[in-house]
Amino acid sequence: TQLLEQSPQFLSIQEGENLTVYCNSSSVFSSLQWYRQEPGEGPVLLVTVVTGGEVKKLKRLTFQFGDARKDSSLHITAAQPGDTGLYLCAGGTTSGTYKYIFGTGTRLKVLA
Amino acid sequence: DSGVTQTPKHLITATGQRVTLRCSPRSGDLSVYWYQQSLDQGLQFLIQYYNGEERAKGNILERFSAQQFPDLHSELNLSSLELGDSALYFCASSPGGGFSYEQYFGPGTRLTVT
């Protein structure tokens, strides 16, 4: 059972547009990470959010952790071709046995 | 370059065989994590070792095993291989034992089982 659902699954946008990627679950997470992965490479950590309601900014990327720590969003402002990649959320849940789970992924393509 | 190395980069083998994947963590990192990435299952956490001891277990099959050696490198052993084991296998390392620490991923080993 996949506990972290990401939407949209695929996104193709023009350079300069804004976008939001969502990561949703019915489980509570002790912390949540966002990664970006490029083809043939391992994921690279972008941010970790720990506190419910937390907002973190990384240049043009804004990350938010839901108040109940069950969901998160990633907003990109003025997307650039270099933002192209697979975006993954991941987190650890303590409901039952501790598990670290990756989301289903959002594949973003930014066209020049 | 994350500082995590994995060998081999590619591996092609037949069903029923056994393979060993190797991972060297970043200098100073005590934790090693193993992940499997396939098209239908996405990225799945397999197992974590911290300073030589198993720390957390994910969706690792009984046919798979891992260990971390005193020099902190780790090996993932896959046996009785099946076609469905074909995937990218990543290892990651971090300084501490919890998942909130930043994990640095290696370039992966692409395993093809024929």
* Contact list, A90 vs chain B (CB under 8 Å): 43
Q: Give the residue from A94, A68, A8 showing the smallest Cα distance to B100.
A: A94
Highest mean pLDDT among A8-17, B31-40, B89-98: A8-17
Q: Is A42–B90 a contact, with Cβ atoms under 8 angstroms apart?
A: yes
Q: Is A42 an 8 Å CB contact of chain B?
A: yes
Cβ-contact A11, A21 below 8 angstroms: yes
The distance between the two most distant Cα atoms of chain B, rounded to a whole number of Å, is 38
- Which of B45, B102, B107 faces A41 most closely, judged by CB atoms? B107
Tens digit of pLDDT for each residue in B22-70?
A: 999 999 999 999 999 988 778 899 999 999 999 988 889 999 999 999 9
Q: Is B96 an 8 Å CB contact of chain A?
A: no
Q: What is the mean pLDDT of chain A?
A: 91
Taking residues A21-38, what's their average pLDDT? 92
pLDDT at B30: 95
Strands B10-13, B109-113: pairing is parallel
pLDDT at B8: 97
Q: Which residue of B has its CA nearest to A47?
A: B102
Tokens of A28: 């509570």
Tens digit of pLDDT for each residue in A53-77?
A: 999 999 999 999 999 999 999 999 9
* Cα–Cα distance measured from residue B108 to residue B104, given in angstroms and rounded to the nearest whole number: 12
Residue B82 has pLDDT above 60, yes or no: yes
Cβ-contact A81, A89 below 8 angstroms: no
pLDDT at B11: 97
Cα-Cα end-to-end distance for chain A: 37
Taking residues A3-9, what's their average pLDDT? 92
Q: Is B43–A42 a contact, with Cβ atoms under 8 angstroms apart?
A: no
Residue A2 has pLDDT above 60, yes or no: no
Q: Give the residue from B27, B19, B35 showing the smallest Cα distance to B2.
A: B27
Q: pLDDT higher for B81 or B99?
A: B81
**Which residues does A82 contact at the CB level (< 8 Å), separation at least 6?**
A110
* Contact list, A104 vs chain B (CB under 8 Å): 42
* Cα–Cα distance measured from residue B113 to residue B111, given in angstroms and rounded to the nearest whole number: 6
Q: Is A85 an 8 Å CB contact of chain B?
A: no
Taking residues A79-88, what's their average pLDDT? 96
User: What b/e string do you get for B82-113 counting C-beta neighbours within 10 Å, with b at 16 or more?
Assistant: eeebbbbbbbbbbeeeebbbebbbbbbbbbeb
**Which residues does A72 contact at the CB level (< 8 Å), separation at least 6?**
A22, A23, A32, A34, A49, A63, A64, A65, A66, A89
